[in-house]
A and B are shown apart, each in its own frame.
Chain A
Amino acid sequence: MTLSARTPRATRDPRPEARSRPAGERPSTVTLPDRLSGAAFLFLGVGLVAIVLLVPFAITVYRGFFGDGVDSEFAGLDNYVEMFRDPILVRSLINTLIWVVGSLVLPVGLGLAIAVMTSATRWGRWARLAVVLPYAISGSAVAVVGAFMLQTDGAVNQLLHALGLDALTTQWLLNWPQNTISAILLSTWQGTGVAVVLFLVGLQTVPPETIEAAALDGADGWKRFRYITLPQLRAVTVVVVGITLANALRAFDLIWVLTQGGPARSSETLALSMYRETFLLQDAGQGSAIAVVLTIVVVGSSWTYLRSNLRGTR
């Protein structure tokens, strides 16, 4: 829009160097009023981002180099070193990685499978509705229902007991890593719907001729999916994986309501550790260091993944 608005002005430029430029190309010099006007508009956008995002982040980075509440003395990299020394924070880091792997395998894998298996069936819309509905529920509500089901005396163990499968009953929320895996399963139940919707949109963009041609060439169902459909879903897969990655790394509400990160902080992820250290233990230095590491992991992994994959889809 901006270009089309400026193009006529550029062509009216009386200067010879401007006239010799091909039509539609932006002039190399911009008038001062244009610059000021642009800066003013840029200032608003940049200002908002700075106030809401960059300034708090800079303060967080700065705070991460200081100790906890009492003296808040300069601590250098102590808070970062402590992160890798404290077994609780190391476990929190491991839990975060389990969340990433679990969320990539389960919601993305299941989402793709459900979308592919239900896209061409008549009853598919009902199956999809059942899968998508939990996405409308908040993480906290899912956790409340999850706790009711997964407590030692909860519905899941009662069902297993009623079926005579007592050997399978366990304390789902009390032992590590079961409690982390249980939380991931609940998150999967809630979050698979959005992956299904996105994959369905992707499937609609796959030209049916390509699949028909493959069928005529004798490719069976799995081969048609593996060599024809899946490569054409690459763009949407990148988006789904990107969203899932970010969601997994910042998982908080579901875990907090389900276990409060316990018992003994065994189900904490970095997001919970950050909250606990900052607001409950009032150690803003340690909390800030965790926040910085978490930010680097989230932005770094998302950037790397999206950059490497989007390049191939251009």
Chain B
Amino acid sequence: MQITRLHRTAGLLLATLLAGVAAACGDSGSSGTETGPLSLYSDNPTWEKGFTDAGTALQKITGRGIKPVSVPSTSDYEQVVRTSITTRKTNDLVKWWSGYKLQDLASTGLLSDLTDVWNAAEQKGWLDPALKPNYTFNDRVYGLPMYQSYWVVFYSKPLFAKYDIEPPTTFADFERTAATLKQNDVTPLWTGQSDTWTSFIPYQALVAAQSPDYYTKLTQNQAAWTDPVSQNALNTWKDWIDKGWTTPADSRLADAPAMMKSGKVAMLPIGTWQNSNLKLAGLTPGEDYGAFFMPTSVAGAPKSTFVEGGAWTVPTNAPNRDDAVKALGSWLDPSVQSVWSDFMADSSANPTVPSTDPLIKQIQAKVAQDKPVLLNRFYEAFPSKLVLAATTELSGFMVHQDTGPKVLDSIQKTSETEWADWKKQTG
């Protein structure tokens, strides 16, 4: 009798549990909340305060702020976003990348069309129309720039002053600088592959230093990875590693500001978005560190720099999709952008918003003066799977520098497959 009662109770509990699981797995029918901040997925926890502060400014215009949710590892973040946007349990806003990565996600049909938002911002002069192709897929816009970063080489001013070095203006100067630093037991250049994606940094810099045109063709599948330009880039990189000019391959980008602060490393090639992290490490721009553009390595080669801008996107399944699209309509408003660019210590995507950071002002002035060729950063410049394969191969090269030709052959083979797949995927 007791056992029967026990069975009944257990059965009832199990049935309740199953019903609960079924209800949780089913469509919650969530239409979002009518008030409160919009939720945002980001892969950068150190930007949470910036998102919240910019959200407060945004709230004054649209009535809704921003509540960021961070997934720190970039690899994990991509997987979380790709999986969650297929469900109704995704966030209202998603930080993503421009270029092929955005096109890749847009091709799934899971991103909201932001063409009207873009056009309205462009009419107000809040956006540079030249950026539009980086956010477009099949003639529709699916993302809005989050910031505008230029790729520079940050350098330690105290170390340069200590060894009487000026920021290099030619490639020969750059190599002399590295040699001097190494002689004084300072590792000249930060490089690393522990974050996986960072392995492309020296490659893209050394290719663009020779031929921005080749790099552009490479991103359009009109050049081979086995071209002499790529081979020269790996040869120079190998030479630098052999001479001990780079940090060990297992260095992490998160440690780079501290390494610069302690005087272990003198130069850090990275986007200007790293400016806020250098400040967080207690370094003062203009005083503790400066920045220069990587010089060209071939006579007559045009000056160039890489740019990146991130992307705001709105999943079609976002619980507050309409409010999220509306919020992006005011994201580039100067009152929001001034708060955001101050936090980022970087250039705003809105050209009418001046930077208050002295170093960024200098960089912007240099860009205006030199008019370098603006190249899309490696990470967004190729189909996602090709980027992943290439960065994996380049990671291996950082450890075994004798494998250069094999690495380029392997990337070339992958490139042929992935470009063919890309054409199939995007029609």
Contacts and interface: CB of A to CB of B under 8 A. Distances in A.
Give 3 nearest A-B pairs by CB, closest first: A264-B396, A152-B248, A279-B79
A266 B396 contact: yes
Interface stretch (A170-178, A207-215, A290-298, A303-311): A170-178
Contact of B250 (A5, A152, A264, A266): A152
A9 to B, nearest CB: 12
Given A47-B18, A263-B398, A281-B388, A173 B7 contact: no
Given A40-B11, A263-B399, A153 B392 contact: no
B82 A153 contact: no
A1 B10 CA distance: 15
B192 to A, nearest CB: 10
A1 B3 contact: yes
Nearest to A157: B248
Interface residues of B, number: 33
A83 B248 CA distance: 32
Contacts of B248: 151-153, 171, 174
Contact of B251 (A41, A51, A153, A282): A153
A1 B395 CA distance: 61
A44 B395 contact: no
A260 B195 CA distance: 8
A175 B424 CA distance: 37
A31 interface: no
A262 B196 contact: yes
Contacts of A2: 3
Interface of B: 3-4, 7, 11, 14-15, 18, 21, 75, 78-79, 82-83, 193-194, 196, 247-252, 385, 388, 392-393, 395-396, 398-399, 421, 424-425
A299 B21 CA distance: 27
- Label chain B's interface by main secondary structure: helix
Contact of B396 (A152, A153, A263): A263
Interface of A: 1-2, 5, 40-41, 44, 47-48, 51, 68-71, 147, 151-153, 171, 173-175, 259-260, 262-266, 279-282
Contacts of A70: 421, 424-425
B256 to A, nearest CB: 12
Contact of A41 (B7, B247, B252, B398): B7
Contacts of B79: 279-280
A264 B392 contact: yes
A69 to B, nearest CB: 8
Given A70-B425, A152-B250, A153-B248, A175 B399 contact: yes
A279 B395 CA distance: 20
A171 B3 CA distance: 63
B335 to A, nearest CB: 39
A44 B393 CA distance: 49
A152 B399 CA distance: 12
Nearest to B249: A174
Contacts of A5: 3-4
A71 B3 contact: no
A277 B247 CA distance: 30
Nearest to B420: A70
Nearest to A279: B79
Contact of A262 (B18, B395, B425): B395
B75 A280 contact: yes
A174 B11 contact: no
A6 B199 CA distance: 69
Given A263-B396, A264-B395, A280-B388, A171 B250 contact: yes
Given A1-B3, A260-B194, A262-B193, A281 B75 contact: no
